A and B are shown apart, each in its own frame.
Chain A
Amino acid sequence: MEYITHTWHWSISGFLIGIIMLLLIYFGKHFGMSSNLRSLCSMTGVGKHVSFFDWDWKSQRWNLIVVLGAMIGGFVAVHFLSDASNVAINPETIAQLSKFGIEAPNGKIAPNTMFGLEVFQSPKMIFILLIGGILIGFGSRYAGGCTSGHAISGLSNLQLPSLKAVIGFFIGGLVMAHFIFPLLF
């Protein structure tokens, strides 16, 4: 059981993610999560006004089912397959985060400071989460994919556009983590 409740090794996890992508290809589909955001927008009927959302999203229903399965997987993993040894990040990282007032993981996958229920009472945190979401939604659609569509699917298929997008992801991420994040906390 410990093999399951401990943090899964990166080599096993990476291999399984690669297999998931290949399985979806075998099913005649593709691995890409951010297009579900477009489907969800389209489901509201907004396609009548914005042509980008006027498409056959129903052909992408399978992907929404993948998302549903992923949500159940996340639920099972957090509630039944976790233990206190999880999220053993670098002690240096923990020390840095404590300066920002962000607590050590102690087995949790996300800090309460940013993701606990108390954030609903903090306009600043609501704003940060909302802005983060907007950047993710806008950026992934502009770039035509996210970590799954470009970093995993695209690079696996040796796509130059995906390499550009992934380098963009990392430049943006480094700028945020090293320069902007310290100003916010």
Chain B
Amino acid sequence: MNLLKYLAVGFIFGLVLTKSEAVSWYRIYEMFMFQSFHMYGIIGVAITTGIIGIQIIKRNKLKDIDGLTIEIIDKEKGSFRYWIGGLLFGLGWALVGSCPGPIFILIGAGFMSVGIILVGALLGTFLYGVIKDKLPH
């Protein structure tokens, strides 16, 4: 099945994020208080692995599973949206200790209260969609 590989990747993602405790409110708080290296280690190694992998892909013009040369689209240029959007996101991240991936993982793990965060996140996404054209980007 074509979609099964996504289920498998997602499963491993959920497992890793939970077992590394990156989904833990406690770990996020501890990170922002600079009281542990744990989260910085996870993010740092993930990025290092990613940088090396992407450089290998680009330099060797590797092909994807369908045989097409892999092209990674650059992020749109800009500043305001990244600074301000990032800042707002950070406020929420530190308050409830979960970013979008962990929101879903925690609900799957049985934390019903995280459903409230998901409702909020959908409302926030919806709100952005409504006022998007009025915002500076």
Contacts and interface: CB of A to CB of B under 8 A. Distances in A.
A150 B54 CA distance: 15
Interface residues of A, number: 124
Contacts of A134: 92, 120-121, 123-124, 127
Contact of A165 (B9, B72, B85, B94): B85
Nearest to B95: A132
A74 B124 contact: no
A84 interface: no
Secondary structure of the A contact surface, majority rule: helix
Contact of A136 (B27, B96, B105, B126): B96
Nearest to A34: B100
A78 B20 contact: no
Nearest to A167: B86
Interface of B: 3, 5-33, 35-39, 41-51, 53-54, 57, 64-66, 68, 70, 72-79, 81-101, 103-114, 116-130, 132, 135
27 contacts: A7-B20, A14-B43, A17-B16, A18-B49, A22-B57, A30-B73, A70-B101, A72-B7, A73-B12, A73-B15, A74-B106, A77-B14, A114-B97, A128-B95, A128-B96, A137-B124, A139-B85, A139-B90, A146-B89, A147-B93, A155-B51, A156-B50, A167-B83, A172-B87, A172-B88, A174-B32, A177-B94
A52 to B, nearest CB: 3
A136 B97 CA distance: 10
Interface string A25-39: 111101001101110
Contacts of A160: 75
Interface of A: 4, 7-8, 10-28, 30, 33-34, 36-38, 40-41, 46, 50, 52-53, 61-63, 65-79, 81, 86-87, 89-90, 92-93, 96-97, 105, 109-111, 114-117, 119-120, 125-126, 128-148, 150-162, 164-178, 180-181
Given A69-B14, A74-B23, A133 B119 contact: yes
